[in-house]
Amino acid sequence: MLGIIAGRSFSLAGMEAAETQVMETPFGAPSYHVTIGRLGGSKVAFLSRHGPEGIPPHRINHRANVYALKKMEVTEVIGVNSVGSLKEELPPGLLVIPHDYLSPWGILTFYEHQVVHITPSLDAALRARLIQGAEGAGVTYVKEGVYIQTIGPRLETKAEIAMLRNFGHVVGMTMAHEATLCQEVGLAYASICSVDNYCHGIIDKPLTEKEIADKARENAGAIHKVLLRVMEEMA
């Protein structure tokens, strides 16, 4: 079964025979209940990482979220992530399917008391299906990019962005945690990113939270089309 973890601006509309399951894990409660149903003929488990209350990114219980999906026998996970663009040529409204990620500020792990070294990566086969889905859906997307995860909840300073643009393409606050934790428990993980704004200082225009939220809602329709194509191919 495929699992989808998404943010506040995205809901998986059109799920058939949907039911919700309230989960508890050794790491506490997930962000919200898990909704299980069918989309495009395939079974899917959907989880909102920010929950109904709008949990800030630095307080999301990623371990509980990933553990809950694993317990429900999900085998692969797609993360829907909102990002800011580090490049003028990657404008808001675009979708990016990252091929790698960077986060030197600390990543969550399930192995607090064991020496376990995974070699982190995004799942190539699942990425290929996202790319195929984007092609089939006819959306505007880029099939590669490096996602940089910062700590949050604040946005980055102009000086931070000036440094980060040398190393990546988009910036967010959640994906590196999810990707690493999924790999630690044997779940394939890939991400589709909604570019909702230019990062602070990339263009000469003030950055507002409202503009970011508005663009995320606009991009949600394109992401839904991609995921629907992926689910139809699975079926």
Q: Report helix angle 175-184 to 62-71, nearest 10.
A: 40
What's the predicted TM-score (pTM) here? 0.95
Please count the helices (runs of H) and the strands (runs of E) in the chain: 5, 11
Nearest by Cα to 69 from 83, 57, 79: 79
What pLDDT tens digit does each residue of the chain (235 aa) get?
Answer: 999 999 988 888 888 888 998 889 999 999 999 999 999 999 999 999 999 989 999 999 999 999 999 999 999 999 999 999 999 999 999 999 999 999 988 889 999 899 989 999 999 999 999 999 999 999 999 999 999 999 989 999 999 999 999 999 999 999 999 999 999 999 999 999 999 999 999 998 877 788 888 888 889 999 999 999 999 999 8
Give yes or no for a contact between 86 and 164, defined as CB atoms under 8 angstroms apart: yes
What distance in Å separates the CA atoms of residue 75 and residue 161, rounded to the nearest whole number? Answer: 35
CATH superfamily membership of 2-234: Nucleoside phosphorylase domain (3.40.50.1580)
What distance in Å separates the CA atoms of residue 225 and residue 216, rounded to the nearest whole number? Answer: 15
Confidence (pLDDT) at 12: 87
What distance in Å separates the CA atoms of residue 137 and residue 20, rounded to the nearest whole number? Answer: 28
| β-pairing verdict for 2-6 and 42-48 | parallel
What distance in Å separates the CA atoms of residue 164 and residue 66, rounded to the nearest whole number? Answer: 28
Residue with tokens 């990002």: 83
Domain ranges of the chain: 2-234
Distant-in-sequence, close-in-space partners of 135: CB < 8 Å, separation ≥ 6? none
Phi, psi (deg, nearest 5) at residue 169: -115, -35
Give yes or no for a contact between 93 and 218, defined as CB atoms under 8 angstroms apart: yes
